[in-house]
Amino acid sequence: MNINFLDFQKQYASIKDEVNTAVSRVIKSQWFILGEEVAQFEKEFAAYLGVKYVVGVASGSDGLYLSLMALGIGKGDEVITPANSFVATAFAITHVGATPVFVDMDSETYQINIEEVKKKITKRTKAIMPVHLYGAPCNIEALRILAKRENIYLVEDAAQAHGAKFNKKRVGGFGDLGVFSFYPGKNLGAYGDGGAISTNNKELYERLLKIRNYGQTKKYYHDILGVNSRLDEIQAAVLRVKLRYLDKWNESRRKHATQYNKLLTNVKTQKLYDGSESSCHLFVVEHAEREFLQRYLSEQGIHTLIHYPLPIYLQKCYKYLGFKEGDFPNADRSAKKIFSLPMYSELTEKEIEYITKTIKAYPQI
């Protein structure tokens, strides 16, 4: 049996006619930038999330960067963020001129450790940027209360958590801003790069509309400094089709996660906070002999990946911050042990049984 980490073909086959019709509609219209498809997707995604506004942008990474721009965060400011995430979260902080202040993770949930967050708040702290890692919500309600008490901004990196919920409320609506990525491998993935920012704040919404489009509301009249970061019409059209299936796909992923957890009784997996519902973007496990187990699985036709092999604070680009290995021990430990098993909605029970049986058959387990 050969099981890919992702399988785009299976998903496309299930929605092929709708996607082709949507793309053809855009091509026939000959309107490719900031047209009706983007406008309608923004409304539909806002309704799905339960927020007032959504702004489509060119990528999730841009969404993080533009969010901090809109909040006026820059040189001399600090933004608290987890040490164990994809580097784009920290890059956004650095690119606006602020300093990323890293926090270790909780060893069971892999999410940002709130008690450590409290210790890192200073007079220079302007925002907390947590990540709903692997599609599982962090303790966002506790962070919302903390941010409000400290009078600092809360920006949710929900790039992996489309449709995830905390206390029955979808993530992306807890903070001042929420950011989503539509990278093809995401639960709600485009056929190229794309992203979106969610908010309930009208002032921030209107500012973001300007920032993403050269700082203008009228062509060639630039009110503020902006960039070119726009979700294009074809991607929006594809996303409108896929959004209708997102809950169904997420439910399939949760069933897969339940089956994985039931069968993998001797391997550590990610724990969820009470009241949270994961989108199950990734299914990660821990093993002390990760390299050997991954090689063994590959030999049996099972493809896996590592998310992520080196904590952000140890990346060469952040050497100037002066951190050393061991400064965030939980992040260090997980980076050496975790890896991700195949996870997508079209995965079958038989395939999960094969994966788990193969793991159990590994000689060292």
Give me the pLDDT at residue 363, please. 82
Give me the pLDDT at residue 186, please. 98
Q: Where are the beta strands (DSSP E) in 206-337?
A: 216-218, 221-222, 268-269, 276-277, 283-286
Q: Is the pLDDT of residue 365 over 60?
A: no
Q: Is the pLDDT of residue 84 over 80?
A: yes
CB 211 within 8 A of CB 70: yes
Structure confidence by residue, pLDDT tens digits, 25-67: 999 999 999 999 999 999 999 999 999 999 999 999 999 999 9
Structure confidence by residue, pLDDT tens digits, 34-44: 999 999 999 99
**Per-residue pLDDT band at 364 (split at 50, 70, 90):** low
Mean pLDDT of 297-324: 97
Q: What is the pTM of this model?
A: 0.97
CB 278 within 8 A of CB 135: yes
Tell me the average pLDDT of the chain.
97
Q: Where is 8: in which H helix or E strand?
A: helix 8-29
Closest alpha carbon to 155 in 134, 138, 167: 138
Domains of the chain from N-terminus onward: 8-243 (3.40.640.10), 246-361 (3.90.1150.10)
Closest alpha carbon to 134 in 187, 192, 91, 170: 187
Structure confidence by residue, pLDDT tens digits, 253-310: 999 999 999 999 889 999 999 999 999 999 999 999 999 999 999 999 999 999 999 9
Mean pLDDT of 167-190: 98
